[in-house]
Structure 1
Amino acid sequence: MVNRIRILGAKKLSYARRIVLINSVLNTLYSYWAGIFLIPKAVIKRIEAICRNFLWDRSSDYHRVPLIAWDTVTLPKEEGGLGIKKAETWNVAIIAKLVDWIYGKADRLWIRWINQIYLKNGDWHNYKPSADAAWAWKQICKVKELMKSAYIDSQWTHDITGYTVRQGYEWLRHSQPKKDWSIAVWNKWNIAKHAIITWLYMNKGLNVREKLHRIGYCQEKTCCICEDADETVEHLFFNCNYSRQLLQCIETWCGFKIDVNMNVTGRMGVKSQAHAMIWSACCYYIWQQRNNARMNGVLIRPATLAERMVKEAKHIIRSMVGRNMQRGDRDWLNKWGCVHSIVGQQSG
């Protein structure tokens, strides 16, 4: 895993790309071994440390304090996390597939061997391994004890189609209440880098001055942009005068008031997706300008920044809107000058 991080050239990767690589590359490496035996806890901790350090600091080594706790990061996106698998729970869920095979007496040579050597046609549900049993077999029996309450009459009770690793993982982990804002943050219209900053904002993970001052890292705690109040997350989004001006410019263009809390329930239509995309872009650019003000002492005027955001929003909407869009939605977006090209293509 460490070698892969070095090969990937992580220094140039954004948060969004690092998340993809953790799920598709790093987690795949340990998943192979996780399907063979229970990985020792010390190794599991090292695996999670590598993934955590790679996410927050582009390296396999610890150099930077994580912005969000790993237990939150490994939650599903709808529960406020990033959807990265928790290594230990995933390991148990994969081994539980072997437990399910024994429950179902699958037609496999390994199952026949287990029955001949250990079970001897006994009751698997209440089976206890002997003291001289192999270590790997004891680990499988340990997983069986964790999973046995989910089986009745040797049947997986949570789905009639039978056990899957994904179902086992969901059953093992402790579910959290769903976040109303998660649908808006991970809306498919949002640019990935915008969504990550918005996710950090909603989880209060951004290193604002007030937070840095509280832990002794920064002497000043006034807002980098307006210098009129303490720089808290609540002030920056959207009580700062600069943030309010930017929001007003954007609301003038789109013609509706933006809900800065973005609590969404149910399915998102075209209007709510466009709304969420604009809200996410506002969060990203406010944070970008805050960093510019802190590092370089430079700030783009809200009106100029709004013009840049409008151009970006039009480009995104034109690329996302499909040909089967309802007429009312098309007319609504047409007021923004976003669907002229699509209408022309349909007329042609």
Structure 2
Amino acid sequence: MRSGLAVSMQNTSLFASGLTDTEVDTVQASTGMALGHLPFRYLGVSLDSRKISLANCEPLIQQVKGRFNNWSVKSLSFAARLLLIKTVISGITNFWCSAFILPKACIVRINSLCSIFLWKGNLEGHNSARASWETIVLTKRQGCLGVKDMKTWNKACCLRLLWMLFFRQDSVWATWFKEVILKGSIHNYWTTTPKQSYSWFTNKLLKLKDSVFPLIKLRLEIGNTTRFWFENWTPFGSLYDYLRGCGTRLGIPLTAVVSSLHSDGAWRLLPTRTDRHLQLHCFLTTVQLTTNEDNYEWKIDGRTTTKLRTGEVYTYLSKERQDVLWHKAVWTSRGIPRHNFHTWLVVLDTLPTKDRLIRWGIQVDHRCLLCNSSPESRDYIFGECNFYRQLWSLAARRIPIAPSSSCLQTLDQMTSLPPSNSSRLLRLLVWQSTLHWTWNERNSRVHANAFRSVDSLFL
């Protein structure tokens, strides 16, 4: 009535749960609404009260396939395909990841489609990946391509819902969840267990306790709502887990709140029996209760913040792996994307050089096509090959830089260049261009039987 808008009963469906047929008929007769059935699509996604299945995700998979089939008619480089996966495909899947916990089969299927498209440019035939998808989803600093891992991203999006539950309690969904599932108190989240009567999605959110627990820190003030055993209010984490193997709970009930154990300025605890009990007692001597209300804080990577950034949560959930030293020499900020991608393949030694083809069981002449004198390999063609050395010497003389005759030594040389200056960027661009055009000439001789000299290629 306030908005002035009217509901179109003819275009509105009724979804009933827990009503008798008579009650449903009465509602239909009084409103004129049709009886709807689950699942149904809303804003492009399938809504259902049960666990989302692979069949429910078929519209998403078909949408991804449609994008790839449209792009396959274009002549795209590896770098261009990577960009489309990281932008358009990520945009399509983000909406679904924010709404559901996707089935593993759906995530595997989409990852497979992305991998085939990245390496082949179309969805036909088998996948001839040069790097596993588990490697591709690592960051560029870790030596890979930085494509988001859908499974981890989906989990990060679900943790956003839990963040809303604790820090945006004015949300209609958060209010409903707290009143119906948590029985009126947000503090009950840590002790509420999954039940068959709850929806599949609700049970999944309840099972994310261990993942979200380190991120939600409770600032202890008056202590009348803080669960002593189950909340993250001490440096030891959950005291229930911390003291689980100590043989005693110090006479404290599982439902106790912190303030119930403190009176007249002292803590009422049984004598210590183990080192962990002693550590807890020592910590409690530093705690002073106040008259303020207890409150939750979102703490990630040691920083307390009032805002949630899904990207930060994704990074937090991702597997830790040491950064590689050469990532800045490969992924230059103002470099040529196809040259960056090719250099990455060179560094990982995943180009289809003849030594690799022979290991795969393909019968080919082992000699290098550029100099026709030695067996072709990554280290040879981009290091000892006379054609490459002449081309690199011409280019290095212009920069200037002392050329090395070893592929790995040149990589170390590029990695150790002084940071953040125009001279460094120029040298990296020239080095990557030399790698790219050397490989381009090699492929021209293989597939087109076209030969160019070092001088013509350099010009």
TM-score bin (small chain): 0.7 to 0.9
Q: 1:160 maps to what in 2?
A: 304
Which structure 2 residues correspond to residues 44-63 of structure 1 after superposition, within 5 A? 44-63=107-126
Determine whether 1:286 maps to 2:438.
yes
CA distance in 2, matches of 1:93, 1:218: 47
Unaligned 5+ runs, structure 1: 308-348
Partner SS state of residue 29, structure 1: helix
1:224: Cα distance to partner? 2.0
The structure where helix makes up a greater share of residues is: 1
Q: Which AA in structure 1 matches 2:189?
A: W
> 1:176 is matched with which residue?
321
What CA distance in whole angstroms lies between the structure 2 residues aligned with 1:10 and 1:202? 30
1:81-105 deviation digits (Å, cap 9, x = unpaired):
1111011111111111001112325
* Residue matched to 1:229: 374
The reply to whether residue 18 of structure 1 matches residue 81 of structure 2 is: yes
SS of 1:277's partner is helix
State how far apart, in whole Å, the 2-side matches of 1:10 and 1:152 are: 52
Could you report, residue by residue, the CA deviation over 1:275-296 in whole angstroms, capped at 9, with x for unpaired residues? 1111110110111011112223
Cα distance in 2, alignment partners of residues 255 and 286 from structure 1 = 20
CA distance in 1, matches of 2:316, 2:213: 12
Q: Partner of 1:334 in structure 2?
A: none
Q: 2:443 aligns to what SS in structure 1?
A: helix
> 1:265: how far off?
7.4
Higher strand proportion:
2
| TM-score, with structure 2 as normaliser | 0.64
Match of 1:328 in 2: none
Q: Deviations over 1:250-272 (max 9, x none)?
A: 12222322462122477421111
Aligned to 1:29: 92
Q: Which moved more, 1:101-110 or 1:167-176?
A: 101-110
In structure 2, what is the equivalent of residue 319 of structure 1?
Answer: none
The alpha-carbon distance between structure 1 residues 279 and 256, as it changes in their structure 2 partners (threshold 3 A), is same
Correspondence 1:305 to 2:457: yes
Superposed counterparts of 1:78-227, under 5 Å:
78-120=141-183, 121=185, 122-153=187-218, 154-158=296-300, 159-161=303-305, 162-227=307-372
Letter in 2 for 1:146: S
Q: Is the 8 A contact 1:53 1:59 kept in 2?
A: yes
Question: Per the alignment, in what secondary structure is the counterpart of residue 157 of structure 1?
Answer: strand
Is the radius of gyration larger for structure 1 or structure 2? 2
Shift of 1:221: 2.3
Which SS does the other structure have where 1:124 is aligned?
A: helix
| Secondary structure in structure 2 of the residue aligned to 1:66 | coil
- When residues 213 and 11 of structure 1 are mapped into structure 2, their CA distance, relative to the original with a 3 A threshold, is farther
The count of aligned residue pairs is: 307
TM-score, normalising length: structure 1 = 0.83
Alignment-mate amino acid for residue 204 of structure 2? Q
CA distance in 2, matches of 1:266, 1:23: 30
Instruction: State the AA in 1 paired with 2:319.
Output: H
**1-side partners of 2:125 and 2:416: how far apart?**
36
SS at 1:205's partner residue?
coil
The CA distance in 2 between the partners of 1:147 and 1:222, in whole Å, is 57
CA shift in 2, pair 1:213/1:95, >3 Å: same
Q: Secondary structure of the residue that 1:281 maps to in structure 2?
A: helix
Query: What is the CA-CA distance between 1:217 and the residue it aligns to?
Result: 2.3
1:258–1:279 contact (8 Å) kept in structure 2: no
- Tell me if 1:268 matches 2:410: no
Say what the alpha-carbon RMSD is for the aligned residues.
1.8
Match of 2:221 in 1: none
Q: Work out the CA distance in 2 between the residues paired with 1:191 and 1:77.
A: 16
Q: Percent identity?
A: 25
Secondary structure of the equivalent of 2:207? helix
Match of 1:253 in 2: 398
When residues 62 and 168 of structure 1 are mapped into structure 2, their CA distance, relative to the original with a 3 A threshold, is farther
Deviation of 1:188 (Å): 2.9
